[in-house]
Structures are given as structure tokens and as C-alpha cells.
């Protein structure tokens, strides 16, 4: 909301009020959030990666989530990027498909 406030020069309280009003009037439902950590486990299991890679990728993802860097991004993409980065960091052989 802070970003919207900065862009529109409106108070956060006003933006929040109108957001709730729109949600109520349009009968919008909340969108379920996909947990990127579950995506990491799913991807790593499908690729038969070592447990070490999976655990390190989960650790990195928790740090990313604490910093809220993942907000607004595709959870599968973030999970795949985290696994790839950790896989390369551990010096494991990687096959890239084009």
C-alpha cells in the first residue's frame, strides 16, 4: 500500500478504505497463495536432487521470504531459480535445456 500511496499521493488509510470497499462491492474473493517452499520440494523431488541441495534452497527461500523479495512474483519461477542457484553454488553438474 505504501507504493500506491507514494505514486498517488494519497494516504495509506484512504487507499485501504477504498480497497476494502471495492473488494466488498465487487464481491472479490481472496486468491490462494502458493507456498514457494512447497514448490522447491516438488521441483527438487521431480529432478531427483540431493537432500542437501533441497535444504539449502529452502534456507535461501526463507531468507527471500523474510525480506519479502518474492512478493508479486511467480512462486514456481522463484523456487526454480533458487534451486538452480544453489545447485550451481554447490558445484553440481547441471544440464540446461533450450
pTM: 0.61
- For 71, the grid coordinates are 512478493
Tell me, what's the pLDDT at 55?
92
Tell me, what's the pLDDT at 73?
84
SS3 69: coil
The CA distance from 53 to 44, in Å, is 8
The CA distance from 29 to 19, in Å, is 13
pLDDT tens digit string along 22-49?
888 888 776 677 889 999 999 999 988 8
Give the CB-side neighbour count of residue 19, counting CA atoms within 13 A.
Answer: 11
What is the pLDDT tens value at each position of the chain, 98 positions in all?
777 778 888 888 888 888 888 888 888 776 677 889 999 999 999 988 888 889 999 999 999 888 888 877 888 999 999 998 888 888 776 665 55
Amino acid at each position: 500500500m505504501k507504493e500506491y500511496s507514494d505514486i498517488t499521493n494519497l494516504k495509506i488509510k484512504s487507499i485501504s478504505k477504498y480497497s476494502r470497499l471495492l473488494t466488498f462491492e465487487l464481491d472479490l474473493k481472496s486468491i490462494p497463495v502458493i507456498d514457494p517452499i512447497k514448490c522447491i520440494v516438488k521441483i527438487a523431488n521431480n529432478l531427483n536432487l540431493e537432500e542437501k541441495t533441497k535444504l539449502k534452497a529452502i534456507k535461501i527461500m526463507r531468507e527471500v521470504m523474510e525480506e519479502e523479495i518474492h512478493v508479486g512474483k511467480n512462486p514456481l519461477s522463484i523456487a526454480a531459480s533458487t534451486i538452480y542457484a544453489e545447485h550451481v553454488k554447490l558445484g553440481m553438474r547441471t544440464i540446461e535445456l533450450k
